[in-house]
């Protein structure tokens, strides 16, 4: 008799051409990922060849009950690390039946910015450092922390090893490999300063694909924590007090910044970011004021600053970039719960298109 595990791991390609496509979208809170699956007659590699679909938007906080249909437009395809074979994950964005993007569809506007000829000519590259915290399911207390109590002070946990310093590595490594399998350009992982907190990096990726890849990497991570019976949070300050918050530092460069003389282009771009500091902060994640305090490797939320190799600044330029006279910079302000479509497109808009 087959076990449940045997049936879950059945290979469809042994008996049929049919595949399963898991359609993924962002729900009404702007952070809740939703998904559902459908059967397709055969393998698909081009999102434009996939059928549109719909869902009940009144159940996700995205439409009224009397007119609840929201349409899913497939935008990017990834290999499915859970079902494997020819099965796929499909990142979608959301529209009304009339074809208008719904208010929570942040991808639509981002795609318009990235398709602007001025932006496309600059080939904006992004590397996003996504921090997150793993919580015990029944208590919502960080993984590895004593119930109702606290571990020893921060210091030994960052990139630490050992059963008393590293909590959840099996989840982290499963996620790392699953992202590589899926075709996400995940470039690394590490344990973070607060115990139970981790980071993965996605990039370099170009333009709109950065947002697609980060969202699908988040989806895969939440599916893995579901299997492991652990809760995932992107809260920017999950534990008050003398504990590091969680961010999504965004590394960025354009073709002009990567070419000779790029350091002057970088400095001009940072000056433009300074002039729009308030607008960027407003779009960089809910609850970020609890994280950007001027402590724990952050700059104060109300003050823009930049510096070379300074992790207490709003924007950090690497020592190597300064020495080479070209390269990239890191916007350290985005919170871990930021929308990568919003952040990546806003940085491109401010630094390339906006004329002060």
Question: In the chain, where does DSSP find H-type helix?
Answer: 4-8, 107-115, 117-122, 169-182, 208-228, 255-258, 262-275, 277-283, 319-324, 340-348
CATH code, 4-104: 3.10.20.70
List the domain boundaries for the chain.
4-104, 117-353
Q: What is the DSSP letter of 50?
A: S
Gap between the Cα atoms of 279 and 216, Å rounded: 26
pLDDT of residue 148: 87
Contact between residue 63 and residue 70 where contact means Cβ atoms under 8 Å apart: yes
4-104 and 117-353, same CATH topology: no
| CATH annotation of 117-353 | 3.30.590.10
Backbone angles phi and psi of 132, in degrees to 5: -160, 165
Three-state DSSP at 257 gives helix
Query: What is the C-alpha to C-alpha distance for residues 197 and 296, in angstroms, rounded to an integer?
Result: 14
Summarised one tens digit per residue, pLDDT across range 238-297 is 999 999 999 999 999 999 999 999 999 999 999 999 999 999 999 999 999 999 998 888
Report the alpha-carbon distance of residue 39 to residue 54 in Å, rounded. Answer: 15
- pLDDT, tens digit (0-9, with 9 covering 90-100), for 70-105: 999 999 999 999 999 999 999 999 999 999 999 999
Q: Is 266 exposed, middle or buried, given 0-12, 13-18 or 19+ CB atoms closer than 10 A?
A: buried
The Cα–Cα gap between 353 and 72 comes to 30
Geometric angle at alpha carbon 137, from 169 and 141, rounded to 5°: 80
| pLDDT for position 356 | 87
Regions of the chain where pLDDT drops below 50: none
Q: Specify which residues 89 forms β-bridges with.
A: 22, 78
315 neighbors 267 (Cβ within 8 angstroms): no
């Amino acid at each position: 008799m087959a076990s449940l595990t045997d049936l879950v791991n059945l290979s469809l390609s042994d008996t049929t051409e049919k595949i399963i496509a898991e359609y993924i979208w962002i729900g009404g809170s702007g952070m809740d990922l939703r998904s559902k699956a459908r059967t397709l007659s055969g393998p698909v590699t081009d999102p434009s060849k996939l059928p549109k679909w719909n869902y009940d938007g009144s159940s996700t906080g995205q439409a009224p009950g009397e007119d609840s249909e929201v349409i899913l437009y497939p935008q990017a395809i990834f290999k499915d690390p859970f079902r494997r074979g020819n099965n796929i994950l499909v990142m979608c964005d959301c529209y009304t039946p009339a074809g208008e993007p719904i208010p929570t569809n942040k991808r639509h506007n981002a795609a318009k910015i990235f398709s602007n000829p001025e932006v496309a000519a600059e080939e904006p590259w992004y590397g996003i450092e996504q921090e997150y915290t793993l919580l015990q399911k029944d208590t919502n207390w960080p993984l590895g922390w004593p119930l109702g109590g606290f571990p020893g002070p921060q210091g030994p946990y960052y990139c630490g090893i050992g059963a008393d310093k590293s909590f959840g590595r099996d989840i982290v490594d499963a996620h790392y490999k699953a992202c590589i399998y899926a075709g996400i350009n995940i470039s690394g992982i590490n344990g973070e300063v607060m115990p139970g907190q981790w980071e993965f990096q996605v990039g370099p990726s170009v333009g709109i694909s950065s947002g697609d890849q980060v969202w699908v990497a988040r989806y895969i991570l939440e599916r893995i924590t579901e299997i492991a019976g652990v809760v995932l949070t992107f809260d920017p300050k999950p534990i008050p007090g003398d504990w590091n918050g969680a961010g999504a530092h965004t590394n960025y460069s354009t073709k002009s910044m990567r070419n000779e003389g790029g350091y002057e282009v970088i400095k001009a771009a940072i000056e433009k970011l300074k002039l729009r500091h308030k607008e960027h902060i407003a779009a960089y994640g809910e609850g970020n004021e609890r994280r950007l305090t001027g402590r724990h490797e952050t700059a104060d939320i109300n003050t823009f600053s930049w510096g070379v190799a300074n992790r207490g600044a709003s924007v950090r330029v690497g020592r190597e970039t300064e020495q080479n006279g070209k390269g990239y910079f890191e916007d350290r302000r985005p919170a871990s719960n930021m929308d990568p479509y919003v952040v990546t497109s806003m940085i491109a808009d401010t630094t390339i298109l906006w004329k002060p």
